C-alpha cells in the first residue's frame, strides 16, 4: 500500500461532529492496537497537559476501578416519565466521550435490527458515547414502552464562522413532548415530558443554543421509529427540514405543527402490539412480509426544505438575538463544543 492510499484510508476513518474532526473505531471489539495507539496520540495533541497526561494514565497500573453502570430495569409500576429519567441517568453514567475517537461505528442507513445490535454492544462495553450513539441507545432502551413515540431531531448551528451538528431523540407521550440524548451541555440533551407542542420543544433547544452564542441555522425532524427491534426498516432522519433563519416564528410553528399532526397519524403504525398469545401481524421483516404475502412498507419521500420569500436577516439582527455581551468573554480562550 502506497503512502497516498494510506492517507485516503485514514481520511475515511475521520468523521465530523460539532465542527470537530474525530476518529471512528471501525474494527469493532476488542479495540486493536492501531486504534488504541491512534486514540492516545490524538488525545496527547488536544489535551492541555499533552504527553504528560497520557503517560500518567497509560503507565499507571494502580488506577481506580471504574464501576460499570447497570442497565435500568423498567417495571410496570413506573410511569413513563420515570422510565425516561432512568434511561437518561444510565446514559449519563456512561459519560460523554471526550477522547476524539468514537468507539462505535454508527451508519444511519442501517436497518433497525442492526442499530439495535450496536446498542447492545454499547451496553456490553459500557464505554463513553457521543450524541448519535445516544440516539441509537435511547431507541433500544425505550423499545416496548407502550404509548411512547420516538423520532430523531437534529440541529445545524453556527458559531464564529464554524458549523456544528447535533442530534437528539425526540419523545412523545400523553400529549407531551421531550427528548433523550447526550451533549457536553446539560440543556442540549435531556428534556422532560413537559412541552405541549413540538414547536415549544424545538424553540426551547434554540433558546438553549443562544446561551452559548450559537445561531440555529437548520432544524430537522424525522419520522416515528418502530418499536420492533427486528425491523428491517431504516430510520427517516430528516423528513422535515426547516431553515430557521428564513422563517418567522409563526411560519416555523405552522410547518412544525403540520409535521407533528402527520406524525400522530403514523404513531399507531410504530407503536408496540400489546396483544398476548397472538402472533403479531405488524412485521417489517422482508422474509416475514413475503411469507404472509405482503410487501414492506415503502419509505415516504422527505419534504423539501421549507423556505419563504422573506430575506435572510442581516448580521445586526443576528447579534440582537444573542442575549449576552460578547465583550464579557475572551473569545480567543473560548472553544465551544456542543
Active site amino acids: 131, 166, 183
SS3 string, the chain, reads: CCHHHHHHHHHHCEEEECCEEEEECCCCCCCCHHHHHHHHHHHHHHCCCCHHHHHHHHCCCCCCCCCCCCCCCCCCCCCHHHHHHHHHHHHHHHCECCCCEECCCCCCCCEHHHHHHHHHHHHHHCCCECHHHHHHHHHHHHCCCCCCEEEEEEEEEEECCEEEEEEEEEEEECCEEEEECCCCCHHHCCEEEEECCHHHHHHHHHHHHHCCCCEEEEEEECCCCCCCCCCCCECCCCCEEEECCCCCHHHHHHHHHHHHHHHHHHHHHHCCCCCCCCCCCCCCCHHHHHHCCCCCCCCCCCCCCECCCCCCCCHHHHHHCCCCCHHHCCHHHCCCCC
d(CA 164, CA 40): 24
Neighbours of 221 (CB within 10 A): 25
Query: Which residues contact residue 166 at a Cβ distance below 8 angstroms, ignoring those fewer than 6 apart?
Result: 17, 18, 131, 154, 155, 157, 183, 188, 338
CA distances from 257 to 264, 307, 329 (A): 10, 16, 37
d(CA 117, CA 119): 5
List the beta bridge partners of residue 165: 156
Amino acid at each position: 500500500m502506497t503512502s497516498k492510499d494510506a492517507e485516503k484510508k485514514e481520511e475515511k476513518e475521520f468523521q465530523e461532529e460539532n465542527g470537530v474532526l474525530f476518529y471512528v473505531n471501525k474494527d469493532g471489539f476488542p479495540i486493536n492496537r492501531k486504534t488504541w495507539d491512534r486514540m492516545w496520540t490524538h488525545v496527547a495533541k488536544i489535551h492541555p497537559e499533552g504527553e504528560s497526561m497520557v503517560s500518567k494514565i497509560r503507565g499507571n497500573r494502580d488506577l481506580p476501578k471504574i464501576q460499570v453502570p447497570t442497565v435500568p430495569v423498567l417495571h410496570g409500576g413506573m410511569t413513563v416519565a420515570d422510565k425516561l429519567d432512568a434511561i437518561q441517568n444510565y446514559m449519563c453514567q456512561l459519560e460523554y466521550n471526550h477522547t476524539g475517537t468514537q468507539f462505535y461505528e454508527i451508519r444511519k442507513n442501517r436497518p433497525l435490527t442492526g442499530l439495535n445490535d450496536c446498542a447492545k454492544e454499547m451496553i456490553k462495553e459500557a464505554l463513553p458515547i457521543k450524541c448519535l450513539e445516544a440516539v441509537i441507545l435511547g431507541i433500544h432502551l425505550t423499545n416496548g414502552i407502550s404509548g411512547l413515540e420516538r423520532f430523531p431531531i437534529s440541529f445545524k448551528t453556527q458559531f464564529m464562522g464554524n458549523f456544528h451538528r447535533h442530534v437528539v431523540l425526540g419523545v412523545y407521550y400523553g400529549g407531551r413532548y421531550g427528548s433523550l440524548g447526550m451533549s457536553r451541555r446539560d440543556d442540549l440533551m435531556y428534556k422532560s415530558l413537559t412541552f405541549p407542542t413540538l414547536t415549544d420543544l424545538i424553540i426551547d433547544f434554540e433558546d438553549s443554543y443562544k446561551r452559548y452564542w450559537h445561531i440555529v441555522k437548520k432544524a430537522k425532524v424525522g419520522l416515528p421509529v418502530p418499536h420492533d427491534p427486528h425491523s428491517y426498516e431504516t430510520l427517516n432522519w430528516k423528513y422535515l427540514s426547516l431553515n430557521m433563519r428564513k422563517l418567522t416564528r409563526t411560519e416555523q410553528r405552522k410547518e412544525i405543527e403540520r409535521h407533528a399532526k402527520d406524525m400522530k397519524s403514523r404513531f399507531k403504525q410504530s407503536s408496540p402490539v400489546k396483544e398476548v398469545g397472538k402472533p403479531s401481524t405488524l412485521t417489517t421483516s422482508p422474509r416475514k412480509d413475503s411469507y404472509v404475502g405482503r410487501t414492506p412498507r415503502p419509505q415516504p419521500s422527505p419534504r423539501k426544505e421549507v423556505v419563504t420569500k422573506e430575506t435572510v436577516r442581516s448580521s445586526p439582527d443576528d447579534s440582537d438575538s444573542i442575549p449576552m455581551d460578547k465583550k464579557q468573554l475572551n473569545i480567543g480562550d473560548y472553544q465551544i463544543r456542543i
